[in-house]
Amino acid sequence: MPVKWLLYWQPSTGSTVSSQTLVDVMKSIESINGVRTGRWQVTASNHRPIQRDQSMGLPQDCARELLGLTFSEVPSKHYFILRGEHMVVEAHANMQNIMEKLQLYRNRLNIFFEGFQYQLGDFQLKAGRAVLAHSENLRGIVLEVEYVPVSSLEQTRLLLQEFVEMWQEVVTAQNMAGRFTPLEPNYSDYNLPDQYSWQHTALQYVNLMVYFLHAQRN
Amino acid sequence: MECIVQGILETQYVDALEVLLQGLCGGLRETLKVHEFYLKSGNNMGSVSSELNLCCSLSGPQPVWTVRHVGGPMRGAASDQLSALVRSIFEADISNNGLRFLYALGYKLDYEILRTGFSFCFQRVVPITVKVSCICRLPKLHAIDEAVPVTPTLYLVEVFAPASADNYAEVVAAISSFAEFLAPLLHLSKPGVFTGVVPTAATAAASLISRAALK
């Protein structure tokens, strides 16, 4: 699977993120001959444990938070992330039905990442917004960069860095006040290998969901 | 949802059953070697207590992990009339850290077994699977190489098929009619209804083995 880098829009001091930012990003991609190829969506969900008896407290060794991910590109899979336990789990989408039956964790909130994808030579770009489900409250703007020919994280590192720098020049030329920044991926903490997979992608989106929710609180 | 019947067969007649199934099916035999973990939810976890089954199939080149949740059986007068048990079932393949994941969700290991044997799949109204297995207990935690049969003289035979709320009666009928082919060797009934071994098994097995030898 090709390596993907997930970036988020960091506005310059004094400016804010708005829906217009996404429109400008898409115009920027089209300005360098990016071809729109379709829509995409990622759903990230946050769950908290259900206790039978509130006065008893939870068992010490059980996860306090369960995060879930689904990708429109792989509807047959569902991903779970336990941040406290540093674990990424890949399961068949049926696992969601099992979790509903078990009634162990309650869904607290969902964030949708959604937008359009573009082909640009060997790169595939996905530009989109992060919104809270039901409220349409904008949490951020994201850009996923995928280098199609290579699956090794190590081999693509320099190349993707160069792409991000080139991309910043495009953004600056469009007079957009801000820059796209990657969140430092912590793959080794989760024992994820060098060969890139959907599990790596799931971790990146979860990190970004947590970042957006945290940024809003501050 | 699935429809299921099961029965027991003396170990000495397992080869005869295999010959019979081979004849009925035409050769789609699969070897079974599955490490099964039975888990229970921890104290105070979840709005209800729950049980879960994690299976690790070891018969292929790579282990395949699957989570199974078996729901309660269909109840009521209509279901009493059915010759097979109808119950909800959900299955999902999971990555190889599935056991650690379920522990982290508060599940505790209740017991574990190793299931060895074989299975056949038949296409009737729906795909019907026959699983013939020896159930082994593990004397030490996860020690599948030291597995010991729980009942060395008996094998468990399960016949099941996927169903939905719309077609379960039809599926039960298909399973019942299929079970008749196996009747000379074993009784099949709803899980929990013990029917024992059949007196004709020795004769039927001898006949099947001798016919197989002639071919």
Q: pLDDT tens across B145-187, in order?
A: 999 999 999 999 999 999 999 999 999 999 999 999 999 999 9
The predicted pLDDT at position A218 comes to 56
d(CA B153, CA B8): 10
Rounded average pLDDT over B74-81: 86
To the nearest whole number, what is the mean pLDDT of chain A? 90
Residues of A with Cβ-Cβ distance to B109 under 8 angstroms? none
Distance of residue B116 Cα from the nearest chain A Cα, in angstroms: 25
Token code pair at residue B85: 């048990």
B50 touches A at CB < 8 Å: yes
> Which of B41, B51, B90, B107 best probes binding to A when mutated, by most A CB atoms within 10 angstroms?
B90
The one-letter code for the residue type at B75 is: R
The minimal CB distance from A62 to the residues B71, B95, B105 is found for B105
The predicted pLDDT at position B180 comes to 93
Rounded average pLDDT over A61-89: 95
The minimal CB distance from A59 to the residues B90, B94, B106 is found for B106
The predicted pLDDT at position A13 comes to 86
CB contact under 8 A, B44 and A92: no
pLDDT 10s digits, A175-218: 888 889 988 788 999 999 999 999 999 999 999 999 998 876 65
Give yes or no for residue B112 having a pLDDT over 70: yes
Q: Which CATH architecture has domain B2-214?
A: Beta Barrel (2.40)
CB-CB contact of B8 with B191 (8 Å): no
Residues of A with Cβ-Cβ distance to B101 under 8 angstroms? 80, 82, 87, 89
Rounded average pLDDT over B97-115: 96
The predicted pLDDT at position B102 comes to 96
CB contact under 8 A, A92 and B46: no
Lowest average pLDDT, out of A54-58, A88-92, A132-136, B55-59, goes to: A54-58
Confidence of residue B215 (pLDDT cuts 50, 70, 90): low
CB-CB contact of B45 with A62 (8 Å): yes
d(CA B72, CA B90): 12
Residues of B with Cβ-Cβ distance to A58 under 8 angstroms? 44-45, 106
To the nearest whole number, what is the mean pLDDT of chain B? 92
Share of chain A above pLDDT 70, in %: 99
The count of CB pairs under 8 A between chains A and B is: 99
Give yes or no for residue A15 having a pLDDT over 90: no
Beta bridge partners of B109: B39
d(CA A128, CA A19): 10
Kindly provide the ipTM of the predicted complex, given to two decimals.
0.91
**B123 dihedral zone (left: phi>0; alpha: psi -120 to 50; beta):** beta
Confidence of residue A156 (pLDDT cuts 50, 70, 90): confident
Residues of A with Cβ-Cβ distance to B42 under 8 angstroms? 59, 62
Confidence of residue B123 (pLDDT cuts 50, 70, 90): confident
Confidence of residue B213 (pLDDT cuts 50, 70, 90): confident
* Positive or negative torsion for Cα B46, B47, B50, B55: negative
Confidence of residue B3 (pLDDT cuts 50, 70, 90): very high
Q: How far is CA B86 from CA B75, B82, B192, in A?
A: 9, 8, 13
Distance of residue A180 Cα from the nearest chain B Cα, in angstroms: 33
**Could you state, in order of their start, the residue ranges of all structural domains in chain A?**
3-51+62-217
Confidence of residue B197 (pLDDT cuts 50, 70, 90): confident
Rounded average pLDDT over B120-129: 89
Lowest average pLDDT, out of A23-32, A113-122, A167-176, goes to: A167-176
The predicted pLDDT at position A70 comes to 97
- Residue A109 φ then ψ, to 5°: -160, 160
CATH no. for A3-51+62-217:
2.40.320
B142 touches A at CB < 8 Å: no
